[in-house]
Structure 1
Amino acid sequence: MAHQTMLAFGYPDSLVAESAHWTVQLRPQQVTAGCLVLICKAEAISLGAIAPEAGAELPALVAAIEQTLRAAFGAEKFNYLALMMVDPHVHFHVIPRYGAAVQVAGAAIPDPGWPGAPDLKAAADLTTAQMAALQAEIRAHWPD
């Protein structure tokens, strides 16, 4: 069953991929092209509280995320933020990083913080159709 944090990030409509213990969801605010949220399905509210099985899945999911975003948009680096201040359940904001703006569905999405920390307040203003195209592109590159 989906918990509050999964729902806050648009589950199930925002779903990109899912494993036994995690969801990979499109982040509503695209700070850079392809921002995702990796959310633990458990009710855990601290990283130390997740099940060992959930922890064991993380390396494969992170590898799939990075492979996908490199293939889809040419991501150069990745930032992972686990803040859990507003949305309480264990989750990571995945911020792919780019040295130049990325073209997605007619929108140029810059990375204004490059090469420093991401500017989390500088989300691209994308239409519903552009968000759907972005999600479809990520899904199309997700490894089987």
Structure 2
Amino acid sequence: MNPTIKKFGYPATLLRELEHWVILLRPAQVTLGSLVLAAKSDAIAYGALPSEAFVEQAEAIAWIERSLKRFVAYERVNYLMLMMVDPQVHFHVIPRYSKLRQWNGLEFRDTGWPGPPNLASSVSLNEEQIRALVMEFDTNLD
């Protein structure tokens, strides 16, 4: 796996692996259910991905949106392709909602709602919380 994928906690944060993409739980939860959709390629430009990756991306997006809708009942979802610090192709997937969400005794507010997501405001999960949230995705969302 490329360095960007490893930086986001792979393999502990892995939710789904496809041929060209991985879907990871984002350890710093901007909102509850924040994910990373990362290309397995070493490409640092979106357009450099093979055409098969774009076709497969539709499958990844469908899984993400279906799973997040059931888990967090988002009102909107934002896909942010920033790639400034972590150069390999990836998207930050931020479910958006107007009202507080709670999970496992933690509170998650969308502090940027209704504007752009506030990436500086996040709940950093510890290893135990990451395992629990990954398990919840595995057991309840397929």
TM bin (shorter chain): over 0.9
Share of identical aligned residues, percent? Answer: 45
Which residues of 2 match residues 51-66 of structure 1 at below 5 A?
Answer: 51-66=50-65
**Which amino acid in structure 2 is aligned with residue 33 of structure 1?**
L
- 1:78, 1:97 within 8 Å by CA — same for their partners in 2? yes
Superposition map of 1:3-18 within 5 A: 3-18=2-17
Offset from partner CA, 1:74-119 (integer Å, 9 cap, x none): 1111000111111110000000011111111111111111111110
Find the residue that maps to 1:94 and give its secondary structure.
strand
Query: TM (normalized to structure 2)?
Result: 0.94
What letter matches 1:35 in structure 2?
Answer: S
What's the offset of the Cα at 1:125?
Answer: 4.2
2:114: which partner in 1?
A: 115
Q: How does 1:30-109 map to 2 (within 5 A)?
A: 30-109=29-108
CA shift, 1:46, in A, is 0.4
1:95 counterpart letter in structure 2 = I
Would you say how many aligned residue pairs link Structure 1 and Structure 2? 142
Taking only aligned residues, the RMSD between alpha carbons, in angstroms, comes to: 1.2
Counterparts of 2:9 and 2:22, CA distance in 1: 11
Name the CA distance, whole Å, in 1 between partners of 2:104 and 2:32.
11
* Residue identity matched to 2:26: R
Q: CA contact under 8 A between 2:12 and 2:131: conserved in structure 1?
A: no
Mapping of residues 19-30 of structure 1, within 5 Å: 19-30=18-29
- CA contact 1:69–1:138 (8 Å) conserved in 2: no
Aligned partners of 2:53, 2:44: CA distance in 1, in Å?
13
Which runs of 4 or more aligned residues in structure 1 lie more than 6 Å from their structure 2 counterparts after TM superposition?
none
Is residue 24–residue 36 contact of structure 2 (8 Å, CA) maintained in 1?
yes
Residues 122-141 of structure 1: matches in 2 within 5 Å?
122-141=121-140
Answer yes or no: is the 8 Å Cα contact 1:107–1:126 preserved in 2: no
